Amino acid sequence: MTLLELDGVETYYGESHVLEGVTLSVDEGEVVALVGRNGVGKTTTLRSILQLTPPREGSIEYRGEQLVDLETHEVADRGVGWIPEDRRIFSQLTVGENVRVAIPDDADTGEALAIAFDTFPILEERRDQEAGTLSGGQQQMLALARGLVGENDLLLVDEPSEGLAPQIVADVAEALNDAARETTLLVVEQNLPLALDLADRFYVLDKGRVVDDGDTAEVTADDERLRRYLSA
Amino acid sequence: MLVILALVAYPAVYHLLTNSPVANLAVAVLPRMDSMVAVLYFALFAMSFDFISGYTGYLSFGHAAFYGTGAYVVILIANGKVPLLPPGTPFVVSLLIAAVLAALLAVVIGLVSFRLTGVYFAMITLGFAQVMYVFVRGWDYVASNPRDGPAVGSTHAEGFGIGIPFVDQLNLAIGSFTGDTVTLLGHELGTYTVSFYMVGLVVLLSYFAMQRVIHSPFGRVMIAIRENEERAEAIGYDTFRYKLGAFVMSAFFGGVAGALFAGFRRSVTPENTFYFLVTGDALLASIIGGFGTLAGPLYGHLFDHGVREFLSNRGQGGGLLPYLQETLSEGLLTTQLPGGISVQGFIQAALNGHASLYVGIVFVLVVLYVPSGILGTVRSRLGGKLSETLPARVWGDR
């Protein structure tokens, strides 16, 4: 069943035309990777879905309901979560407060905290520490933990491995694999091996357009088919 | 708690020191009791400014509108100019009505202003306040000469009592001439001291209420909005409603502060209520005391007011200039300095009427070298809030 469907999405920053008719779909329960070079519109695609940068044209349907023209919090209320690039944690709240603020009002707070801290035990150790004082890897774990407790049906994950040490990337990949068992994921990732390892399907974005797509099982990270779009 | 105890003890300490062998120095350095009352109600206004600006990141440059509304409503009620509310309406009731009206005004201003962010939000709120300033300056209904503002008339000759409404025995009036005096353990507490404690009580209750909100889930969302509004929105919070709610609450307490001001002073002018520099003083107090600390503006305003009073040129006691003139010998004062100026002349030239200049210099230095303000810096040095870290530092972990 199709969970998310983008059709002909045209998004601008001022006069700059960033997405030029993006069309893609995500089925319930699958992990889809959105890959491409820097500046081709991957993050803008996620921002358009969330209505943080609303598209000027095109359609974005989630469970058959149009998201365009909704407020961002209304999109979130429908079960769409976001783990943004560069973490964007609330640096002056404690680790515990950062997680609590992401737990929906009607959720069991204790259970949600247990999910976050079981996934990333280091966060429980640092529960009362200001989040801004965490290392980059721990901040990424916190950002993921907040996504996990949000009771989302679709999680938009933006560059989860960016700037992280290899060991931390492995932890993050494991957490995303765990999350994928419960939630549908749309992952923006430049680390191609990681993206292909995580995802069932992929879309390649270039200059604001989807230029290729397919099953990850059919390609490898050094396929010429992908390389021509991803090499600088 | 330490600060509360220090403030409770201040009148006694002031009385003791100003009647001791170091009276001259104490009078020069310590703020007078009437100044301390002003510090308290204005600090509440600065805290209400910090509540919205420091915790959501939205600079409410028009916050004086709420202070002015609180002040004017109290005086208009006392003068029988508000329909259905007689001049004898208990002050606490007037204060609450004034605060609620300030909050309602915030709903109107907020519904328009929160469509914008950053400097545009600051400017539109400033615009609203300036419109109100110009309006009350020309509104004949409030006073015969609205430019000078209204004063409490003969319809309310008695002082404004703080306490349980309609129970005279449980009220103490504030004000310099109309306030109550109290005899406690054989010592008479003057009108300023009684006003200090009663105004302080309202300020304390207001502070605890705001602090309670900040430490609630609502307060966490306020901080989340300040840190990253997009992220807070994407989590599912309707940030517009949270911002508006915080704005309304801050306006309520800004209105309480204005009402206390009017109750104590019994006369107000457009310049000391609605004018944009009133918000400027709150901003100054917040930055010096610590932006986003809630209690910081109290320290900031105490510091600002203390420096101004210390460097003021008033000769009726208090301040550095009279102190030097009284304590330095005649011979030293008449000593000629290079350039043909006497020490007396130099002191006059350097100190007379220049308090704002020095406060400005202090402000620049604070912004440059203590950007977190007094309380923010103390907290970061101690690694947390004073109440949590100071006992451990003083007595160690037991």
Cβ atoms of A187 and A199 closer than 8 Å = yes
Q: Are residues B15 and B77 in the same domain?
A: no
Residue in A50, A91, A92 closest to B234 by CB: A50
- Would strands A80-83 and A154-158 be described as parallel, antiparallel, or unpaired? parallel
Residue B239 in contact with partner chain A when CB distance is under 8 A: yes
At B99, the amino acid letter reads A
Q: Do A159 and A85 form a contact (C-beta atoms < 8 A)? A: yes
**How large is the average pLDDT for residues A21-36?**
95
Q: Give me the amino acid identity at B49.
A: F
A58 pLDDT tier (thresholds 50, 70, 90): very high
Residue B310 domain flag: no
Show which of B284, B303, B318 is a domain's final residue. B284
Please tell me the predicted confidence (pLDDT) of residue B326.
80
How high is the pLDDT of residue B379?
83
> What type of residue is B14?
Y
**Is B115 in CB contact (< 8 Å) with chain A?**
no
Q: Is residue B250 domain-resident?
A: yes
Strands (E), B227-284: none
Q: Identify which of B217, B227, B231 has the shortest CB distance to residue A84.
A: B231
CB-based contact A84 B236, cutoff 8 Å: no
Residue A12 within a domain: yes
Contacts of B115 in chain A (CB under 8 A): none
Within a domain: A226: yes
> What pLDDT does B398 receive?
45
Query: Could you tell me the pLDDT band of residue A191, with boundaries at 50, 70 and 90?
Result: confident
DSSP codes, A171-187: HHHHHHHHHHHHSEEEE
Q: Which two tokens stand for residue A107?
A: 């959720």
Write out pLDDT tens, residues B36-94.
Answer: 999 999 999 999 999 999 999 999 999 999 999 999 999 999 999 999 999 989 999 99
B210 is a domain residue: yes
Q: Which of A52, A90, A146, A158 is the best mutation test for B, with the most CBs of B within 10 A? A: A90
* A24 found inside a domain: yes
Q: Is B186 on the interface with A (CB under 8 A)?
A: no
* CATH number reported for the structural domain that contains residue A53 in this entry: 3.40.50.300
Average pLDDT over residues A224-231: 73
Mention every residue, 6+ apart, whose C-beta is less than 8 A from residue B216.
none
Q: How far apart are alpha carbons A51 and A61 in whole angstroms?
A: 12
Cα of B298 vs its chain's centroid, Å? 7
B25/B295 Cα distance (integer angstroms):
28
Chain B CB contacts of A101 below 8 Å: 217, 220-221, 224, 232, 235
Give the per-residue pLDDT at B314. 57
A202: part of which helix (H) or strand (E)?
strand A201-206
* Position B221 in a domain: yes
One domain, residues B4 and B82 = no
Q: Nearest Cα to A212, choosing from A187, A189, A230, A231? A: A230
Contact criterion met (CB < 8 Å) for A73 and B237: yes
Q: Please report which confidence band the pLDDT of residue B380 belongs to, taking 50, 70 and 90 as the band edges.
A: confident
Q: Give pLDDT, residue A87.
A: 66
Q: What is the pLDDT, as a whole number, of residue B106?
A: 98
pLDDT at B384: 64
Is residue B365 domain-resident?
A: no
Asked whether residue A102 is domain-assigned, the answer is no
Other C-beta atoms closer than 10 Å to the C-beta of A189 total 26
Size of interface A-B (CB pairs under 8 A): 61
Q: What would the mean pLDDT of A60-68 be, rounded to a whole number?
A: 96
Check residues A185 and A180 and name the one with the higher pLDDT. A185
Tell me which chain B residues have a C-beta less than 8 angstroms from the C-beta of A50: 234
A9 is a domain residue? yes
Q: Which residue, among B168, B284, B233, B200, has the nearest Cα to A81 in the 3D structure?
A: B233
- Contacting residues of A for B230, CB less than 8 Å apart: 52, 72, 84, 88
The residue that leads in pLDDT, B395 or B26, is B26
| The total number of structural domains that make up chain A | 1
The reply to whether A86 touches chain B by the CB within 8 Å rule is no
Q: Could you tell me the end-to-end alpha-carbon distance of chain B, in angstroms, rounded to an integer?
A: 20
- In chain B, what residues touch A52 (CB-CB under 8 Å)? 230, 233-234
Q: What is the mean pLDDT of chain B?
A: 90
Nearest CA-CA distance, residue B54 and chain A, Å: 12
Q: Which of A52, A90, A104 sits opposite B236 (nearest CB)?
A: A104
Task: Enter the ipTM.
Answer: 0.85
Distance CA A82, CA A144 (A): 9
DSSP state of A130: B
B94 and B23 part of one domain: no
Answer yes or no: do A88 and B228 touch at CB < 8 A.
Answer: yes
Q: Give yes or no: residues B21 and B37 share one domain.
A: no
User: Are A101 and B235 a contacting pair at CB < 8 A?
Assistant: yes
pLDDT of residue A100: 92
Is residue A131 a part of any domain in this protein?
A: no
**Quick one: how many helices (H) and strands (E) in chain A?**
9, 10
Q: What is the pLDDT of residues B257-285, one digit of tens each?
A: 999 999 999 999 999 999 999 999 999 99
Domain shared by B73 and B20, yes or no: no
Structure confidence by residue, pLDDT tens digits, B199-227 = 999 999 999 999 999 999 999 999 999 99
Q: Distance (Å, rounded) from C-alpha A119 to C-alpha A99?
A: 13
Give the long-range contacts of residues A116-121, CB within 8 A, separation 24 or more: A116/A145, A116/A146, A116/A148, A116/A149, A117/A145, A119/A144, A119/A145, A119/A148, A119/A175, A119/A178, A120/A144, A120/A145, A120/A171, A120/A175
List chain B residues with CB under 8 Å of A100. 217, 220
Short-list B103, B126, B387, B395, CA closest to B252: B103
Q: A217 in a domain, yes or no?
A: yes
A93/B contact by beta carbon, under 8 A: yes
Which of B284, B314, B344 terminates a domain? The answer is B284
Range ranked top by mean pLDDT from A26-40, B320-334, B348-362: A26-40
Q: What string of DSSP letters covers B46-71?
A: HHHHHHHHHHH----TTTHHHHHHHH
Give tens-digit pLDDT for B230-258. 999 999 999 999 999 999 999 999 999 99
Which of A108 and B104 is assigned the larger pLDDT?
B104
Better-scored residue on pLDDT, B358 or B46: B46
Convert the pLDDT of each residue in B313-323 to its tens digit: 554 556 788 78
Task: Give CA–CA dist B369/B201, Å, rounded.
Answer: 34
Q: Are residues B143 and B169 in the same domain?
A: yes
Residue B128: inside a domain:
yes
Tell me which chain A residues have a C-beta less than 8 angstroms from the C-beta of B294. Answer: none
Higher per-residue confidence, B68 vs A168: B68
Is some CB atom of chain A closer than 8 A to the CB atom of B241? Answer: no
Q: Which pLDDT does position B397 carry in this prediction? A: 47
DSSP annotation of A94: B
DSSP, res A29: T
Same domain, B164 and B199: yes
Q: Is the pLDDT of residue A54 over 90?
A: yes
Q: What is the pLDDT of residue A129?
A: 92
Q: Residue B386: pLDDT band by 50, 70, 90 thresholds?
A: low
> Does one domain contain both B90 and B123?
yes
Is B231–A72 a contact, with Cβ atoms under 8 angstroms apart?
A: no
A199 lies in which domain range? 1-79+187-232
Which residue is closest to A52 within chain B, CA to CA?
B230
Query: Is residue B92 within 8 Å of B282, Cβ to Cβ?
Result: no
> What are the chain A neighbours of B220 within 8 Å (beta carbons)?
93, 97, 100-101
Q: Least CA distance to A46: which residue of chain B?
A: B234
Are B236 and A71 inside 8 Å of each other by CB? no
Q: Do both B23 and B60 map to the same domain?
A: no
For residue A196, tell me if it sits in a domain. Answer: yes
- Starting at the earlier edge strand, list the strands of the sheet with A31-35: A80-83, A154-158, A184-188, A31-35, A201-206, A209-215
Phi and psi angles of residue A189, each rounded to the nearest 5 degrees, phi first: -155, 135
Q: Across chain A, what does the average pLDDT equal?
A: 90
Q: Give bridge partners of residue A203 from the DSSP assignment.
A: A34, A213
Q: B220 Cβ partners below 8 Å, 6+ apart?
A: A93, A97, A100, A101
For residue A126, pLDDT over 50 is answered with yes
> Given this model, what pLDDT does residue A21 score?
95
More confident position, A228 or B140 = B140
The DSSP result for B364-376, as a single string, is HHHHHH-TTHHHH
Q: Which domain holds residue B5?
A: 1-30
What confidence category does residue A232 fall into, taking pLDDT thresholds of 50, 70 and 90?
A: very low
Q: Kindly state whether residue B338 falls inside one of the protein's structural domains.
A: no
Contact A91 B221 (CB under 8 A): no
Given B239, B262, B284, the domain boundary residue is: B284
- Residue B228: its chain A contacts at CB < 8 A? 88-90
Give the pLDDT confidence score for residue B395 in this predicted structure.
57
Give me the residue from A52, A71, A104 closest to B230, CB to CB.
A52
Q: Do residues B78 and B95 make contact, with C-beta atoms less than 8 angstroms apart?
A: no
Nearest CB neighbour to A52, from listed B217, B234, B238? B234
- Confidence bin at B387 (pLDDT 50/70/90): low
B97/B155: higher pLDDT? B97
Tokens of B59: 């600079």
Specify whether B129 is located in the same domain as B150: yes
B350 within a domain of the structure (yes/no): no
Phi, psi of B337 (to 5 degrees): -100, 165
Q: What's the pLDDT at B174?
A: 92
Structural domains in chain B (count): 2
SS3 B292: coil
